[in-house]
Amino acid sequence: MATRTPGHLTGAPVLTAADVRRDFGAVPVLAGVSLGIAPGEVVALLGGSGSGKSTLLRILAGLDAEATGEIDLRGTAAVVFQEHRLLPWKRVAANVALGLAGPDVAGRVARALAEVGLADRHRAWPAELSGGQAQRVAVARALVREPDVLLLDEPFGALDALTRLRMQGLLRRLRAEHGFAALLVTHDVEEALLLADRLLVLEDGVIAEELPVHLGPTRSPDDPAFGALRRRLLDRLGVPAP
Ligand SMILES: Nc1ncnc2c1ncn2[C@@H]1O[C@H](COP(=O)(O)OP(=O)(O)OP(=O)(O)O)[C@@H](O)[C@H]1O
For residue range 151-195, list pLDDT tens digits in order. 999 999 888 889 899 999 999 999 999 999 999 999 899 999 999
- The mean pLDDT value for 109-136 works out to 95
In a domain, 58, yes or no: yes
> Which strand ranges, in their side-by-side order, compose the sheet holding 181-185?
77-80, 149-153, 181-185, 42-46, 198-203, 206-212
In a domain, 123, yes or no: no
Considering only CA atoms, which residue is closest to atom 3 of ligand 1?
24
Considering only CA atoms, which residue is closest to atom 7 of ligand 1?
24
Structural domain containing residue 190 = 15-86+147-236
- State the average pLDDT for the chain: 91
Predicted confidence (pLDDT) at residue 9 exceeds the cutoff of 50? no
- What is the pLDDT confidence band of residue 2, given thresholds at 50, 70 and 90? low
In a domain, 107, yes or no: no
Looking at the CA of residue 56, tell me the nearest atom of ligand 1: 18
In a domain, 116, yes or no: no
CA of 215 to the centre of ligand 1 (A): 32
- What is the pLDDT confidence band of residue 6, given thresholds at 50, 70 and 90? very low
Question: Percentage of the chain surpassing pLDDT 90?
Answer: 79
Q: How many domains does the chain have?
A: 1
pLDDT at position 217 = 79
pLDDT at position 1 = 55
In a domain, 79, yes or no: yes
Looking at the CA of residue 202, tell me the nearest atom of ligand 1: 21
CA of 82 to the centre of ligand 1 (A): 14
CA of 206 to the centre of ligand 1 (A): 14
CA of 20 to the centre of ligand 1 (A): 15
- The mean pLDDT value for 217-227 works out to 89
| Residue 58, Cβ density class (10 Å: 0-12 exposed, 13-18 middle, ≥19 buried) | middle
- What is the pLDDT confidence band of residue 224, given thresholds at 50, 70 and 90? very high
CATH number for 19:
3.40.50.300
Among 23, 49, 51, name the best residue to mutate to test ligand 1's pocket (greatest count of ligand atoms within 8 A of Cβ).
51
Considering only CA atoms, which residue is closest to atom 26 of ligand 1?
49
Residues with CB under 6 A from ligand 1: 24, 29, 47, 49-55
Of 48-57, 154-163, 195-204, minimum mean pLDDT range = 154-163
In a domain, 106, yes or no: no
pLDDT at position 70 = 95
pLDDT at position 27 = 86
Q: Which residues contact 93 (CB under 8 A, 6 or more apart)?
A: 106, 109, 110, 113, 122, 123
- The mean pLDDT value for 135-141 works out to 94
Looking at the CA of residue 47, tell me the nearest atom of ligand 1: 21
Give the CA diameter of the chain: 56
In a domain, 49, yes or no: yes
CA of 56 to the centre of ligand 1 (A): 10
Continuous segment of H or E residues that includes residue 24: strand 15-24
- The mean pLDDT value for 58-87 works out to 94
In a domain, 232, yes or no: yes
